[in-house]
Amino acid sequence: MSGAATYADWIAVDWGTTHLRAWAMVGDQPKAEATSADGMGTLARDAFEPALLRLIEPWLGRGVMQVVACGMLGARQGWCEAPYVAVPARPGDLNPIDAPVQDRRISVKIIPGLSQASPADVMRGEETQIAGFLAREPDFDGVLCLPGTHAKWVRISAKEVVSFQTSMTGELFQLLSQKSVLRHSIGAQDEDPEAFAEAVSDTISRPEKLAQRLFSLRAENVLNNLSLQAARARLSGYLIGAELASARPYWLGQDVAIAGSPNLGQAYAIALKTQGMEPRVFDAGPLTREGLARVHASLTESA
């Protein structure tokens, strides 16, 4: 799908820190898709509307086009701050706020993120992904794991987000593998599932040894020729294992679903299986768009 001239009933937008993605929607089905590198992190406040119009111009007609958006455009540094909604909350029924627009051809609704007072935590964008998951699994009662740069563990009951916990696992992996002394010992590919599973179990059993185990990757490479692939697998296993140790109250004895990219989702599934769990794995790719469709439907119902 591309940004060529296309009929649309409404437009769905996922606006991240580094990228902007939009879909021309008819009902709950995408008819075209367009992306750009105009992420929140590159834009001044007055640049959001022009960036959006550059992307969706071919889909605009003579009337007012409704745009339903989630993500970092609603952050304090974004287009217009959409204040967090405290949990417990139903992510499919959040009330979007209106963004200030100059172009009369569009009306932009921004979905708020979720917040938790104690322990303090926030999410922005993931709430719409959760709404998409619940559109598929309306009776789900358990814990949803959303692995990524900042992984979320989300307790769901009666279609509500009851509580959640965030871990910076993906960002830590990126920093350690690319910016720390370990960058000399970490390969570009992970091809050692046995080393990964062993590292997960080691860290869950002794999480207090994480810092020591991390440096051992460098020492093992220098002294014992630990392969770059095995070192990468161990680094991933150590960090995901530490995350699982921290999130144990969430996943232990629960119905667990994982929604992430295929490779990352499978890595978390393997990690949980070392602990006797049997999580279900979902491709997170379409869930944000499906969540945007759920919120749009609720707006239409209440109109």
Pair 260, 153: CB distance under 8 Å: no
What the block records as the tokens of 85 is 């909604």
Entry pTM = 0.92
Which residue stretches of 48-185 are H helix? 48-56, 126-136, 169-179
What would the mean pLDDT of 29-50 be, rounded to a whole number? 96
What would the mean pLDDT of 150-178 be, rounded to a whole number? 97
Q: What's the pLDDT at 303?
A: 63
What would the mean pLDDT of 263-274 be, rounded to a whole number? 96
Pair 241, 201: CB distance under 8 Å: yes
Q: How many CB atoms lie within 10 A of CB 27?
A: 12
Q: What percent of the chain has pLDDT over 90?
A: 92
Q: How far, in Å, CA of 71 to CA of 69, rounded?
A: 7
**pLDDT exceeds cutoff 60 at 261:** yes
**pLDDT exceeds cutoff 60 at 2:** no
Q: What's the pLDDT at 176?
A: 97
What would the mean pLDDT of 79-85 be, rounded to a whole number? 97
pLDDT-based confidence at residue 189 (cuts at 50, 70, 90): confident
Give me the torsion for CA of 285, 287, 291, 297, rounded to 10°.
100
Report pLDDT digits (tens) over 191-215.
789 999 999 999 999 999 999 999 9
**pLDDT exceeds cutoff 80 at 287:** yes
Pair 147, 170: CB distance under 8 Å: yes
Pair 210, 245: CB distance under 8 Å: no
DSSP readout, 180-194? SGGGGT--S----HH
Phi, psi of 261 (to 5 degrees): -65, 155
Pair 187, 221: CB distance under 8 Å: no
What would the mean pLDDT of 84-106 be, rounded to a whole number? 96
- Tell me the residue ranges of DSSP E strands in the chain: 10-15, 20-26, 29-36, 65-71, 85-86, 97-98, 106-110, 114-116, 121-123, 142-146, 151-157, 160-167, 256-260, 280-283
What would the mean pLDDT of 75-103 be, rounded to a whole number? 96
pLDDT-based confidence at residue 61 (cuts at 50, 70, 90): confident
138 alpha carbon, distance to own chain's centre: 20
Q: What CA–CA distances, in Å, run from 227 to 173, 189, 194, 272?
A: 18, 11, 13, 25
Q: Beta partners for 13?
A: 22, 69
Q: What's the pLDDT at 4?
A: 52
Pair 258, 265: CB distance under 8 Å: yes
**pLDDT exceeds cutoff 80 at 1:** no
| Helix then strand then coil, % of the chain, to nearest 5 | 45, 25, 30
